[in-house]
Structure 1
Amino acid sequence: MTAPSAATVSWSPADRAAHGRNARARAPRSGHGDFGTAPDRPDVIDVLARQSATRLPELVPIRYGRMLESPFRFYRGAAAVMAADLGPLPRTGLDVQLCGDAHLLNFRLLASPERRLVFDINDFDETFPGPFEWDVKRLAASLVIAGRANGFPVGRQDEAVLRCVRAYRERMREFARMRTLDVWYAQDDADRLRRLLASALDKEGRRRTARATARARTRTHMRAFAKLTTLTPQGRRITADPPLIMPLRDLEAGAPAEQEDRYLQSLLEQYARTLPSERRHLLRHYRLVDVARKVVGVGSVGTRCWILLLLGRDDDDPLLLQAKEAQKSVLAPYTDGERYDNQGNRVVAGQRLMQTTSDIFLGWTHVIGLDGLGRDFYVRQLLDWKGIARPETMDPALLDLFGQVCGASLARAHARSGDPVAIAAYLGGGDRFDRALPHFAQAYADRNERDFAALGEAARTGRVEAADL
């Protein structure tokens, strides 16, 4: 039997379940607790340097500086390092569309097109098909790393992982019993999460949850517009904040104005072709007035990321888009998933597979820059109702609950693209898989701390340059 796919949808539920149970021979559930560094493991600084070689050299020191702030910040920037560690491990062969960077800060509140708050995965730069357990392991390790940063005892760290993985397993078993369309339509809206958290939190915890939800509703494009732009004699323009925000007019001061204008229009026009016709119609109501390069996140620092300011009726009718460079997924060398000619298309396709509702302006493009080189981008709205977790403020109980919510949400994302019947059968009704993951997460957190120290040593000896920004 081969893995269930579009070509094998005629399999009965019993055959699919048998396929899942048979995967235990390839990758025993208890074996997922094992992690040891491979003898031929690549040098961590070399892995990071290979990524940096394709990035803007003047921004690479900012990337290293952010990664050196803490082991958790290092972990956020080291998805390529973990991909190289996961690749050689025994795998189930039960493939899904992976997030590829499923740490706990990549789960957050987002706005649906219907203007409702939903909880979902947010970052898909590394999305790629692969074995479901890779995302689960990256999420599990992030809980231990966050727990260590907060000084939680090992037992509480392990409990957070155990509850997270149990939530994943139990939610997947629910999806295995559901009709296909019901799986596809399932979502985690803010009201459902609030009820779940309220049942387990004390009064202060409920107050903090309500405040976080309200705060997410204020993080609109209008707030970003007020923060990021200024009214100038030439009209509304993006405010420079070098080196983190650099308007294109400053970056390309030597380029002829008409060449710059052609570049901007090319970017927008090619992106618009990837939108459905009604979204293209909506986009035509706006005109592009300014573009700036922005430094974002940790792992993405050094890739090209543009803010596009468009205006509609007047200067108080903005649309802020973010065009982010899409490079090859760090998972690609270790899987046999579909290859895309355009990496922006890969990101958008993966996001649409995993998210219940995606940004109405989500699309992709390929642009020939003023330097003559072509690059892939994906485009979405900038800062639209995003509520971001703050693990450093969580006590053990809240970290437990947040981990459970993330685990359940990840199961929903995986069930959309994978086979929930086979995955649920592999996981089973017992807790053998659950109990293995804390061992993996602790071992990987140890590895992460050693890699963090190695980057610190490389910065001290001059092997890499790190900047505080």
Structure 2
Amino acid sequence: MTVPNSSTVLLSPSERAAIGRNARARVPRSSHGFFEADSARFDPIEVIERQSATRVPELVPIRYGRMLESPFRFYRGAAAIMAADLGAAPNTGLRVQLCGDAHLLNFRLLASPERHLVFDINDFDETHPGPFEWDVKRLAASFAIAARANGFSLKEQNTIVRTCVRSYRRRMRDFAGMRTLDIWYAQDDVDHLRALLASSMDKKARRRTARATEQARTRTHLQAFAKLTRNTPEGRRIAADPPLITPLRDLLAYAADNQQEKELQTVLEEYARTLPSERQHLLHHFHLVDMARKVVGVGSVGTRCWILLLLGRNDDDPLLLQAKEAQESVLAAQTGADRFDNQGRRVVDGQRLIQTTSDIFLGWTHVTGIDGVERDFYVRQLRDWKGIARPEIMDPAMLALFARVCGASLARAHARSGDPIAIAAYLGSGNRFDQALTGYAQSYADQNERDFEALGAAVRSGRVQAETL
């Protein structure tokens, strides 16, 4: 994967800043201040249906059912729709490695290999090089939509969005003045977050933050092991919960042979070759005992996702891996460049470029399925110290704090992969970009609600089928 700003190292800081300022002439900051769909806008349901055509057919109705739970749930599953909207508009040309789906629930507490809690982006299915503002717009709109769902006033909604974008802008300016290695080593660990938010948090917020931190430390692979597996006469196996979790042994009851089992064994073997040698050595201390298909997320529902149970010295020494199908990023069609020979590797390389610390078992593979279709997968641990935000229980002040942390974290990700000097020069020291993105977030939240209603109408008309579980 090409580093988006690899040529900027040949330029002086002043020349790099000039690139950012010149981008204002092409795309003024005020031009980001609204979204308005014209009469020729694509059919959003058709976009979703095209994605569904490549997915497991019996799981597609679950995806639609989850998207219909609320406008925010719809937004989570509609990254392809927003990508098409972003691609149709002028952009700055200031490229970074995009998360591609930077909504607020894709920022979480995670465990580093050194067993420290860090705050970072956690979803890279859509990662792709592209203009930095695409991620900022998706994140800003997600906060507007979440704040609406909570019944906050328009003033409160706008304050939350501005807080997010201002935090992004200010931290990018900080990075613009830092040494290259200092940017690369920058990390949002729990201690840094406490210091960052200390002046803004009251006692209630501090208690909730401490509680979230402790809960994240309990969400280990052992907790997942206890929840997802059971003892059987054959030993520890994955517990069935169809259609959300369907063990391979149950799927094979409907198959003509054991080719799918061989396919998944191949996934594991080929994936191991993408790990560094010391982690291959670690993986070889475990053996595969069971596999199951798992339904995950909202936008990912219907893609082929497997959980793999491996055991080490005995039944109480587990490793749970997730092998998730990686399809082409929804941003690929909008950038017109950067094609990848393995979509799993695209996800892994993008994650390693954006995250300060990644899962030690992160890798990729490529297999040919029993249907003869070639598919790419990436592999990671199923769960390891993940703390997930719950915006629905946050008051306006707490959601604004979370917006501040997410904006700063996104800036760090972009500074690692893009040119912080050029981006900071484009953003400037004033609040023009902040105000513009606040307007964009509100207008796109309006569009998201219209698209949400369109999906509901498609279900009612019988165009698509939805299933609620």
| Shorter-chain TM-score range | over 0.9
Question: SS of the counterpart of 2:10?
Answer: coil
Instruction: Give the drift of 1:305.
Output: 0.4
For 1:34 and 1:260, locate their aligned partners in 2 and report how far apart those are by CA, in whole Å.
48
Superposed displacement of residue 445, structure 1: 0.3
Q: Structure 1: 5+ residue runs without aligned partners?
A: none
Distance (whole Å) between structure 2 residues aligned to residue 14 and residue 203 of structure 1:
44
- The equivalent of 2:313 in structure 1 is 313
CA distance in 2, matches of 1:436, 1:255: 55
Partner amino acid for 1:148? Answer: R
Are 1:112 and 2:112 matched, yes or no? yes
Which one-letter code corresponds to 1:422 in the other structure?
A
Please give the TM-score of this superposition, normalised by the length of structure 2: 0.98
- Structure 1 contact 106–121 (Cα < 8 Å) conserved: yes
User: 1:31-67 CA deviation, whole Å, 9 max, x = no partner?
Assistant: 1102110332110110110000000110000000000
TM-superposed deviation, 1:254: 4.8
* Alignment partner, residue 75 of structure 1: 75
Does residue 1:290 correspond to 2:287, yes or no? no
Deviation, 1:265, is: 2.2
> What's the CA shift for 1:192?
1.5
Structure 2 match to 1:92 = 92
Question: CA offsets, 1:186-233, max 9 Å, x none?
Answer: 010011112333432222211111101000000000000000001111
Choose 4-13 or 154-163, whichever is displaced more.
Answer: 4-13
> Residue 414 in 1 paired to residue 414 in 2?
yes
2:231 maps to 1:238: no
Preserved contact between residue 197 and residue 206 of structure 1 (Cα < 8 Å): no
1:201 aligns with 201
What is the CA–CA distance in structure 1 between the aligned matches of 2:188 and 2:137, rounded to whole Å?
A: 22
Q: Which residue of 2 aligns with 1:30?
A: 30
Q: 1:443 to 1:30 in 2, by over 3 A?
A: same
Distance 1:45 1:256, change over 3 A: closer
How much does 1:372 deviate?
Answer: 2.8
Query: What amino acid maps onto 2:129 in structure 1?
Result: P
Instruction: Indicate the residue corresponding to 1:262 in structure 2.
Output: 262
- Post-superposition Cα deviations, 1:322-379, rounded to whole Å, max 9, x if no partner, equal 0000000000011044211110000001100100000000000112223332211100
- Secondary structure of 1:9's aligned partner: helix
Aligned equivalent of 2:251 = 251
Question: TM-score w.r.t. structure 1 length?
Answer: 0.98
Most deviating of 23-32 and 371-380: 371-380
For 2:113, the aligned partner's letter is P
Give distance in 2, aligned partners of 1:353 and 1:93. 19
Instruction: Return the letter of the residue paired with 1:85.
Output: D
State the secondary structure of the residue aligned to 1:252: helix
Which letter maps to 2:121? I
Aligned match of 1:451 = 451
Q: Is the 8 A contact 1:130 1:337 kept in 2?
A: no
Matches within 5 A, 1:138-153: 138-153=138-153
Structure 2 counterpart of 1:277? 277
Q: 1:57 to 1:254 in 2, by over 3 A?
A: closer
Aligned residue number for residue 177 of structure 2: 177
Contact kept, 8 Å, 2:8 with 2:419, in 1: the verdict is no
| One-letter amino acid of the counterpart of residue 197, structure 2 | L
Where does 1:289-368 land on structure 2 (aligned, <5 Å)? 289-368=289-368
Contact 2:4 2:417 in 1 (8 A): no
> In structure 2, how many angstroms separate the alpha carbons of the residues matched to 1:254 and 1:132?
46
One-letter code of the match for 1:9? V
Decide whether the 8 Å contact of 2:332 with 2:338 is kept in 1.
no
AA of the residue aligned to 1:437: L
SS in 2 for 1:130: strand
User: How far off is 1:90 after superposition?
Assistant: 1.2
3-state secondary structure, aligned to 2:288: strand
**AA matched with 1:94:** L
**Deviation >3 Å, runs of 4+:** 254-261
Structure 2: distance between partners of 1:163 and 1:371: 49
Pairwise CA distance, 1:459: 0.8
CA distance in 2: counterparts of 1:12 and 1:358, whole angstroms: 31
2:427 is matched with 427
Identical amino acids, percent of aligned pairs: 75
2:48 match: secondary structure: helix
Q: Which of 428-437 and 256-265 deviates more?
A: 256-265
Out of 30-39 and 213-222, give the one that drifted further: 30-39
Q: Deviations over 1:83-132 (max 9, x none)?
A: 01111111000000000100000000000000000000000000000000
Q: Pairwise mapping of residues 393-412 of structure 1 onto structure 2 (< 5 A)?
A: 393-412=393-412
Asked if structure 2 preserves the Cα contact closer than 8 Å seen for 1:128 and 1:337, the reply is no
- 1:58 match: secondary structure: helix
RMSD value, Cα: 1.3
Instruction: Give the Å deviation of 1:301.
Output: 0.3
The CA distance in 1 between the partners of 2:91 and 2:456, in whole Å, is: 32
Partner SS, residue 120 of structure 1:
strand
Partner Cα distance (1:331, 1:4) in 2 = 15
CA distance, structure 2, for counterparts of residue 241 and residue 81 of structure 1: 31
Contact 1:171 1:411 in 2 (8 A): yes
* Partner Cα distance (2:38, 2:360) in 1: 43
Say if 2:8 and 2:16, in contact at 8 Å, map to a contact too. no
Q: Which residue matches 2:137?
A: 137
Q: Which amino acid aligns with 1:145?
A: I
- Compared CA separation, residues 259 and 299, structure 1 to 2 (3 A): closer
How far apart, CA to CA, are the structure 1 residues paired with 2:279 and 2:38?
48
1:253 is paired with a residue whose SS is helix
Aligned to 1:137, the other structure's residue is in SS state helix
| Cα distance in 1, alignment partners of residues 234 and 254 from structure 2 | 19
Following superposition, the deviation at residue 257 of structure 1 comes to 6.8
CA contact (8 A) 2:270 2:365 kept: yes
What is the CA–CA distance in structure 2 between the aligned matches of 1:8 and 1:441, rounded to whole Å? 31
Greater alpha carbon shift after TM alignment, 205-214 vs 30-39:
30-39
Alpha carbons 1:305, 1:325 under 8 Å: kept: yes
Shift of 1:420: 0.3
Q: Is it true that 1:381 corresponds to 2:381 in the alignment? A: yes
Work out the CA distance in 2 between the residues paired with 1:13 and 1:198: 33
> Aligned letter for 2:345?
N
| Structure 1 residues 115-153: Cα deviation after superposition (integer angstroms, max 9, x where no partner) | 000000000000000000000000000011001000000
Equivalent-residue separation in structure 2 for 1:280 and 1:337 (angstroms): 33
Contact 2:4–2:97 (Cα < 8 Å) also in 1 = no
Q: Give the distance between the partners of 1:431 and 1:200, measured in 2 at CA.
A: 20
Q: Specify the alignment match of 2:60 in structure 1.
A: 60
- The number of residues matched between the two structures is 467
Query: Separation in 1 of the partners of 2:135 and 2:425?
Result: 18
Greater mean deviation of Cα atoms: 436-445 or 256-265: 256-265
